[in-house]
Amino acid sequence: MKRRHLADVLLKILGLSVCLYAIPSLIIGIVYALILESDSKANSVLTLSNAFSIAVTDGFRVVIGIYLIAKSGKIAERWFKNEVE
């Protein structure tokens, strides 16, 4: 396997792992935000602004993971453009 192909596969795996790590946390952040917004008397360490920041941060992580999966071939090609096949 050439280095370019190996880099392509590893970038796809990295993108998948970022998505798999961020998606559950994104869902938890959204659910907490909805619970805290609907129940004003909810006593929780997690505030509404913290729940939204968790959801937004993990939303960006999901986007980065999808970008790595989609553009892994072009990124690997850019890294190894001088490699002789």
Q: What is the pLDDT of residue 15?
A: 94
State mean pLDDT over 36-41.
71
CA dihedral of 65, 59, 20, 1, whole degrees rounded to 10: 0
Q: Cα separation of 57 and 72, whole Å?
A: 22
For the chain, what is the mean pLDDT? 85
Looking at per-residue pLDDT, the higher value among 47 and 10 belongs to: 10
Q: Is 12 helix (H, G, I), strand (E, B) or coil?
A: helix
Q: What confidence category does residue 20 fall into, taking pLDDT thresholds of 50, 70 and 90?
A: very high
Looking at per-residue pLDDT, the higher value among 71 and 42 belongs to: 71
List strand residue ranges (DSSP E) for 1-85, in order.
none
State mean pLDDT over 54-75.
92
